[in-house]
Amino acid sequence: MAAIAAPVIIHLWNNRHGKKLKIGSIAFLQESAVRRTKRNFISEWLLLALRCILFILLAFLLAQPVLKKDINADIQKGWLLIDKTNASETYSHFKITIDSLLQKGYELHSFNRKFEKLSVENISEKETKKSDPSIIQYRLLYTMLDQTAPASIPVYIFSTNDLLRYKGEVPMTSREVKWMTYTKPDSESKWIANAYFTQPDSIHVIKALSNPVGTKFIHEEIENAPGKKSDYDVTLANGNVGISTDNQKPVAVDTSSLRITIYADKFANDAAYLKAAIESIQKFTQRKIRLYIAGSLQNFPQKQDWLFWLSDNKMPSDISSENFFEYNTEKASVANTWMETGNQDMQAEKISLAKYSGSSEKYQSPEMIWKDGFGKPVLLGEKKDEKMYYHFYSHFDPSWNGLVWSNSFPSLLMNLFFSNERINKNDKRAIDNKQVQPIFQEAKNKSTKNYYTEDINLNNILWIFLFLIFVVERIISFKAKKGAVYA
């Protein structure tokens, strides 16, 4: 709106006084004393006002205002929600059910952050292409929906069963919800998860094959030379080696080494178990891993990728690493439970947990990676100052838990070291419909909210006003110029 000053300045500049030019005999006459004032006056108030209004309308268009309208929900049977990114396909799959519910008085809404009202007519491929291409997290959306929609109405949700869209905790709800999912037709994909040098003339390739049942990783060894290698294309550009398959963009072949330091003062046994697991990872993956066991802080290596601080002493602040893994230092207590180290990316495994180091510490936006049978954290991840800190509430010792004896111990460490290899937008795994449904919980204080707020977009109205004001401004401006020429 500060741009309103522009037409005012231009208007006053055009109305400035002209210069005097003496001609003929008048130039020899003595000039009388004249008092001059340098004041600019606004001559075309209507024209100036119209131009200012144009800038105001442009400012409103940039702000994208909406009109909040309260809609009474007493006349509604319920809501149907459909994701616009797959709207046409989803509607075709559940057409009979959706049409039947619409005839009963249900209202169709988009399953996004605005939950705007839809009609069957605008569910098309055109609408699908206009939608947000990013991965929408359905569980987060449902939590927002539960707070937006009237408490009295039931909800039907129609969506895909892509596992990537169901991250986070299963939402709790006190309303009637029926969530229906389906598997998309293009439910198979493959991509290169990672590639790295094992020897000067060899590249280790990790290829992922994904379908609704699961994702399988295949390890292959190929020659380090440009050209076609079975399913792969090896390219060399600007001294960097890239590898691709099918129509995938080339993946840069990693030439770096993973630098890991283990510090243990009185927990030497813990360090030995951890060292054995890391060595098995190196042997299996053939990655370049530089492992250093530090018994003291003298000659401590800097700029590490991972530091395992297996000590009750406080970690020094001057140590440099990208990832820090440390023991919780509070007093240990006896625990008769298990560790759940699985998540949506792998089948959960229960590992015995005998000792637990409780915590009252508060971390910034922690992520629970492992937990015990009571839901308490066993391994928390915290991102701080672009570094990752892992807080472990147990020890790498058989007297604390059965982790080091578990066959999955090396693979759990691999998931921490190479977590970026497990996350990909091409992942086609499907979630079971039973895991999709929100958990019903009887409301303690039942809400009496029988309305919801609908946003009405004002962009079209503003564009019409902008066009009309512009036409009127041009007509008045043309007449003003024409009158000045004739005068």
Residue ranges in 106-170 assigned as alpha helix (H): 125-130, 138-148
Res 420: pLDDT: 63
What's the domain count of the chain?
4
- Are both 324 and 271 inside the same structural domain? yes
Select the more confidently predicted residue: 419 or 399. 399
| Domain end (from 231, 252, 273) | 252
- Are both 200 and 330 inside the same structural domain? no
Q: What is the mean pLDDT of residues 354-369?
A: 70
How many CA atoms within 13 Å lie on the side-chain side of 284?
A: 12
Q: In what order do the strands lie in the sheet with 258-264?
A: 289-294, 258-264, 304-310, 321-327, 387-392, 377-384, 367-372, 332-340, 350-357
Please check whether residue 481 lies inside any domain of the structure: yes
Res 131: pLDDT: 43
Query: Which among 217, 178, 186 is positioned nearest to 100, based on CA atoms?
Result: 178
Res 398: pLDDT: 93
In this predicted structure, the answer to whether residue 154 has a pLDDT above a threshold of 50 is: yes
Strand partners for 353? 337, 401
Worst-scoring range by mean pLDDT, 52-61, 102-111, 357-366, 394-403?
357-366
Please check whether residue 324 lies inside any domain of the structure: yes
In this predicted structure, the answer to whether residue 21 has a pLDDT above a threshold of 90 is: no
Res 63: pLDDT: 87
Please check whether residue 421 lies inside any domain of the structure: no
Q: What is the mean pLDDT of residues 72-99?
A: 84
Q: List Cβ neighbours of 109 (8 Å cut-off, separation of 6 or more).
A: 79, 80, 81, 82, 115, 116, 117, 118
Provide the pLDDT confidence category of residue 124 given band limits of 50, 70 and 90.
low
Please check whether residue 35 lies inside any domain of the structure: no
- Are both 148 and 90 inside the same structural domain? yes
Worst-scoring range by mean pLDDT, 8-12, 83-87, 245-249?
8-12
Query: Which among 338, 328, 332, 318 is positioned nearest to 363, based on CA atoms?
Result: 328
Res 28: pLDDT: 59
CATH number at residue 292: 3.40.50.880
Worst-scoring range by mean pLDDT, 6-15, 144-153, 269-278?
6-15
- Are both 283 and 393 inside the same structural domain? yes
Please check whether residue 24 lies inside any domain of the structure: no
Q: Which two tokens stand for residue 257?
A: 């080494």
In this predicted structure, the answer to whether residue 41 has a pLDDT above a threshold of 70 is: no
In this predicted structure, the answer to whether residue 73 has a pLDDT above a threshold of 70 is: no
Whether 58 and 466 have beta carbons less than 8 Å apart is answered as: yes
Q: What is the mean pLDDT of residues 295-316?
A: 87
| Domain end (from 360, 389, 416) | 416
Res 343: pLDDT: 47
In this predicted structure, the answer to whether residue 450 has a pLDDT above a threshold of 60 is: no
pLDDT in tens, 336-361: 888 887 644 444 567 899 988 875 55
Please check whether residue 27 lies inside any domain of the structure: no
pLDDT over 90 percentage in the chain = 21
- Are both 405 and 328 inside the same structural domain? yes
- Are both 235 and 289 inside the same structural domain? no
Res 346: pLDDT: 43
In this predicted structure, the answer to whether residue 7 has a pLDDT above a threshold of 60 is: yes
- Are both 164 and 275 inside the same structural domain? no
CA 206 – CA 195 distance, rounded (Å): 6
Please check whether residue 344 lies inside any domain of the structure: yes
Taking the CB of residue 419, how many other CB atoms lie within 10 A of it?
Answer: 13
| Domain end (from 385, 416, 447) | 416
Provide the pLDDT confidence category of residue 167 given band limits of 50, 70 and 90.
confident
- Are both 77 and 155 inside the same structural domain? yes
- Are both 282 and 405 inside the same structural domain? yes
In this predicted structure, the answer to whether residue 33 has a pLDDT above a threshold of 60 is: no
Provide the pLDDT confidence category of residue 114 given band limits of 50, 70 and 90.
confident
Q: What mean pLDDT, rounded, does the chain reach?
A: 81
Res 11: pLDDT: 65
Provide the pLDDT confidence category of residue 198 given band limits of 50, 70 and 90.
confident
DSSP 8-state class, residue 422: T
pLDDT over 70 percentage in the chain = 80
Select the more confidently predicted residue: 238 or 472. 472
- Are both 298 and 402 inside the same structural domain? yes
Helix (H) or strand (E) holding 91: helix 87-93
Helix (H) or strand (E) holding 242: strand 240-244
Q: What is the mean pLDDT of residues 318-338?
A: 89
- Are both 321 and 356 inside the same structural domain? yes
Please check whether residue 282 lies inside any domain of the structure: yes
The residue range of the domain holding 50 is 2-14+40-65+458-486
CA 395 – CA 355 distance, rounded (Å): 9
Provide the pLDDT confidence category of residue 426 given band limits of 50, 70 and 90.
confident
Res 1: pLDDT: 74
- Are both 205 and 316 inside the same structural domain? no
